[in-house]
Structure 1
Amino acid sequence: MISCQELFTLPSLKKLTLVAGKAGLDRRLRWVHFIDLPDVIPWVQGGELLIITGIGLNGDVHKLQAIVRGIIKKKLAGLIVNVGPYIQTVPPEVISLADQAKFPVFELPWEVKLVEVTGDICRHIIMKQTEERSISDFLEQLLFQPSSDPDVISHRAAYYGYDLTQPHQVAIISPVRLLEFVQSQKTKAEKDLVALKIRFEQIVRDVTAICPQKILSLLRVDDIILLMPCEDKTGGTCSNTELLSAILAQLAVKIPGLAVVAGVGGRFEQLPDARGSYLQAVKVLRFSARQPAARQIHVYEQLGIYKLLFEMDPGKLAAYHQEVIEPLLAYDAKQQMELVDTLFVYFEENGNAVKTAKRLFVHRNTLDYRLKKIEEISGRNLSDPYDRLTLQLGVIVGRQLEL
């Protein structure tokens, strides 16, 4: 679909003037209708751009207001009034109504041929739909079909103005507990979940559309996957992080209450390595789900020791965890204690016993008993830097492997 804002770019609409609803120019239109009936409401479904001349209204402002109210309620994209003998100008009452509803209303001079207007809009919609399908197709091939020919993908992308010969990185924008959010809105879950995903995708594309370089995007399940150019040798993290911040800010404004996080994979220079960057972004999102901090953007290159652990063989990590932490888990299971959780919080609070006890809602004496028990069972001294690091790595590995 295209936005109402894009109408101004079409050749036949050079004389188009916006008279109301500027705040709604990001509304999407799926088709255009020219219907000149006094009662147009039964003939529209939602998402259309309606064109009228006002014939049959006999200059009745109240009838025009009723039409605008009706098409706003039916969630049309906008209204073009072909001003001339039947409606000389859009009345102030209609302008006020449209502004309040953030519903775009345009004026188009009578001499403009409507057949050219409808043709231009329909062709533009079809072209955009074709481009979006093609982009989704070759991004799917790039990230999820490693056997695909990268040269073919690159040439197809170049056809639409995307340069895949420069370094890129993959980012994933993911809503948190999307279904719960939809249900909290007290709406019809399935229908409105689909509508929300479409709006989610549109907001992301609106922000990326203003970037100097074109960015590939793909809606997959609940997430938006972005293939982002990064020119500098540091991985483009700074500029792309700023762009992601702008996207998340817009999502917060346009879909208030929906929690969203972003994961950014590493930089790559060869297209066959794109999937590796995507998998890194996936790992980052999994990592973010286990973090108590309220950060929204997590970058693979900034994960520190977690980045190192991500690259290690899971089997070796599991063996390390079993050696170091398993005795504590066994004791917890047998005695109904929380030694491992206590240890994790203790390390998160940098060994501060007061803060640890407060977070765990336990008395300081209880915490001291648990720490001594940890030392006794593990055979390691929390005052010893090496033993302390060994235990800390053990609980980190456990969280990473979800053990």
Structure 2
Amino acid sequence: MKTTTDLISKMRELSLSLLDHEDLHYLVKKVSLILNTNAVLLDTRHTIVTYSFLTTPLTLNEQLTLQLTDYSTYQNRLYNATLSNTSLHLNGVCFPVLNQGKINYYLFFDNMFEPTYEELSLCEHCCQLIGLHMQRQNAVKVEKMKQQEAFLFDLLYGNVKDPGDVQIYGEIFGWDFSNHHVVIVFSIDEFDYFSMKPDVGNQIYHVIETELVQRRITPIILKKRSEITILFPVEDTNRNAKKAAIREYAFKVKQQCNRIVNSNELKIGIGRSYQKPTDLFRSYQQAKVALELGNLLNYKDDVPFFIDLGLPRLLYHVDTVDLREFYDETIGDLQKYDEENTTDLLNTLEEYLQCECDLQIAADRLFLHKNTLRYRLKKIESILQTELDSMQSKVNLLVAFRIKRMKKL
């Protein structure tokens, strides 16, 4: 009876330590003191959440190596375990911490190999308390994320007009809006919400968030279906320095996401930087335009900045019917001639213009003799009733080919 009373008393101590402090560190410290052994709490990636009683100093968020072996007497409730890094090697047991049937944490105890009934009961009670704490924290986090998402949605769609409101919400959520910010939009190409593994979006979100945290940037993220949008703070320095910092981050995210989706499936668009947070809806719209144009113009080895898109971003907002009519009026006759005569003069003209009208370079790229290319260009001039030496003609033709690529004509 005395043993049962002692056990209940110690369980109560554990419960009170969590109730009093609402912090897992105090709970792990208390169970460590009661059992007189080292204790380490790790997440499923074996990253340290908190620890107690170790003489070897560890770093929170440090990733350790955890090796688990089934403990035959308590299958799935307890494991023999080894925990190590370059300077640490511990042997003991490990308890899985479950939440809704899934393992979310591991609670490791050093130098405990044959736990008594009392030790086992205390450890499992501690795991249950951690699980309950997680449920409460998750509920709070979900509610907070809903509030954050609602505010960000309004901010990015231009519904927040008062800078004072932005400052108030920024203080509530711990977001600093005093710096310039750029909106970056990430999107999964050809996203099918119902067929794609639901964890894919979460994995990409985790990469985006982790890369921000590693740069000591507080994540400001809005996630909706296939699109993840972030506010990226930039220093008010020269334009090239801003772009270099943004490009480095975006490339790192793409590199990390290559193990989750194909490298060409994750699309990115980057808007302008703005100091006033109430202007960030403009950056958001620009980032979406940059993402779409980057996809259309085949930005494979770079990330599209709205400020670098030049003519295509102007054409983007022109009515599609007007663009189609301009295209037809400019090179429609040449396209028709190719279709009727099984020729490839349209491609010849585009390659010539892309080579800045350098006859030799264009001939080499087309695998033609210079005289053959000259003949073709004369034929093109005749069909289009224009002179290719004219600057106005060159501009019109280049614009027409841009429209062709953008609108996939």
Short-chain TM bin: 0.5 to 0.7
Q: Name the counterpart of 1:377.
A: 383
Question: Is the Cα–Cα contact under 8 Å of residues 172 and 225 in structure 1 kept in the other structure?
Answer: yes
Q: Name the counterpart of 1:137.
A: 150
Output the CA distance in 2 between the equivalents of 1:134 and 1:87: 48
Question: Is residue 295 of structure 2 the alignment partner of residue 268 of structure 1?
Answer: no
What do residues 142-177 of structure 1 show as CA deviations (whole Å, max 9, x unaligned)?
Answer: 223536655434422331111234321211112334
Residues 206-225 of structure 1 mapped to structure 2, 5 A cutoff: 206-225=210-229
Residues 1-400 of structure 1 mapped to structure 2, 5 A cutoff: 10-13=25-28, 16-17=39-40, 25=47, 58=73, 64=79, 76-81=103-108, 87=114, 113-114=126-127, 116-144=129-157, 146=159, 151-179=164-192, 190=194, 192-234=196-238, 236-255=242-261, 259-292=265-298, 294-310=300-316, 320-335=326-341, 337-351=343-357, 352-357=361-366, 370-400=376-406
Output the CA distance in 2 between the equivalents of 1:158 and 1:24: 33
Question: Is the Cα–Cα contact under 8 Å of residues 24 and 130 in structure 2 kept in the other structure?
Answer: no
- Which protein is bigger by CA-based radius of gyration? 2
Output the CA distance in 2 between the equivalents of 1:292 and 1:258: 10
Output the CA distance in 1 between the equivalents of 2:169 and 2:76: 51
User: What runs of 5+ residues in structure 1 fail to find an aligned partner?
Assistant: 1-7, 28-53, 90-106, 180-188
SS state of the match for residue 297, structure 1? Answer: coil
Output the CA distance in 2 between the equivalents of 1:319 and 1:191: 39
**Higher RCO (Cα < 8 Å, 6 or more apart):** 1
Question: Is the Cα–Cα contact under 8 Å of residues 155 and 278 in structure 2 kept in the other structure?
Answer: yes
Question: Is the Cα–Cα contact under 8 Å of residues 59 and 86 in structure 1 kept in the other structure?
Answer: no
Q: Please identify, of 317-326 and 194-203, the stretch whose mean Cα deviation from structure 2 is larger.
A: 317-326
What do residues 245-296 of structure 1 show as CA deviations (whole Å, max 9, x unaligned)?
Answer: 2211211245566632311011123334222212211221222223345224
Output the CA distance in 2 between the equivalents of 1:26 and 1:332: 66
TM-score relative to the length of structure 2: 0.65
Provide closer, same or farther for how the CA distance between residues 378 and 147 of structure 1 changes in structure 2, counting only shifts above 3 A: farther
User: What runs of 5+ residues in structure 2 fail to find an aligned partner?
Assistant: 1-22, 33-38, 50-69, 81-93
Aligned residues: 336
Provide closer, same or farther for how the CA distance between residues 165 and 9 of structure 1 changes in structure 2, counting only shifts above 3 A: farther
Question: Is the Cα–Cα contact under 8 Å of residues 141 and 148 in structure 1 kept in the other structure?
Answer: no
Output the CA distance in 1 between the equivalents of 2:315 and 2:229: 24
Provide closer, same or farther for how the CA distance between residues 347 and 11 of structure 1 changes in structure 2, counting only shifts above 3 A: farther
Output the CA distance in 2 between the equivalents of 1:299 and 1:201: 21
SS state of the match for residue 380, structure 1? Answer: coil
**Deviation for aligned residue 1:401:** 4.2
SS state of the match for residue 325, structure 1? Answer: helix
CA RMSD of aligned residues (A): 4.5
Q: What is the percent sequence identity of the aligned residues?
A: 20
Output the CA distance in 2 between the equivalents of 1:146 and 1:111: 49
Question: Is the Cα–Cα contact under 8 Å of residues 297 and 405 in structure 2 kept in the other structure?
Answer: no
